[in-house]
Amino acid sequence: MCAMEQSRFTLRIHPLIMAKMKYIAETNGRSVNKEIEQILKWVISDYENKRGRIHIDEEDRPGFRGTRTNKEELRRLEEQAKLRNKPISPALFRINK
């Protein structure tokens, strides 16, 4: 199974909360990052159990490269294709005699 590249998110957190998160993470055998990720998964699961599944359109789902959405990635690839298909300027091949 191909793992999706992880999105990055900077979190500003009170030092006391961070110290407690480190304690909890260590108790559970996880890094603080993975502990926070697990807690977020529980929150999402609880939310969806109470209010229904959150549907994310496929075009808005994160891609497999960084945090770009599939829509952004498609636009980038289309732009690259346009550039590749542009005819090369004849001026590049002029030979001065």
Is the CB of residue 28 less than 8 Å from the CB of residue 42? Answer: no
Total domains, the chain: 1
Does residue 35 lie within any of the structural domains? yes
Predicted structure pTM score: 0.56
Does residue 95 lie within any of the structural domains? no
Strand, coil or helix: 69: strand
- Chain CA centroid to CA 60, Å: 11
Does residue 59 lie within any of the structural domains? yes
Range of the domain at 64: 27-84
Does residue 46 lie within any of the structural domains? yes
Side chain identity, residue 19: A
Does residue 61 lie within any of the structural domains? yes
Per-residue pLDDT tens digits for 4-21: 677 888 999 999 999 999
Does residue 76 lie within any of the structural domains? yes
Per-residue pLDDT tens digits for 21-49: 999 999 999 999 999 999 999 999 999 99
Nearest to 37 by CA among 6, 12, 76: 6
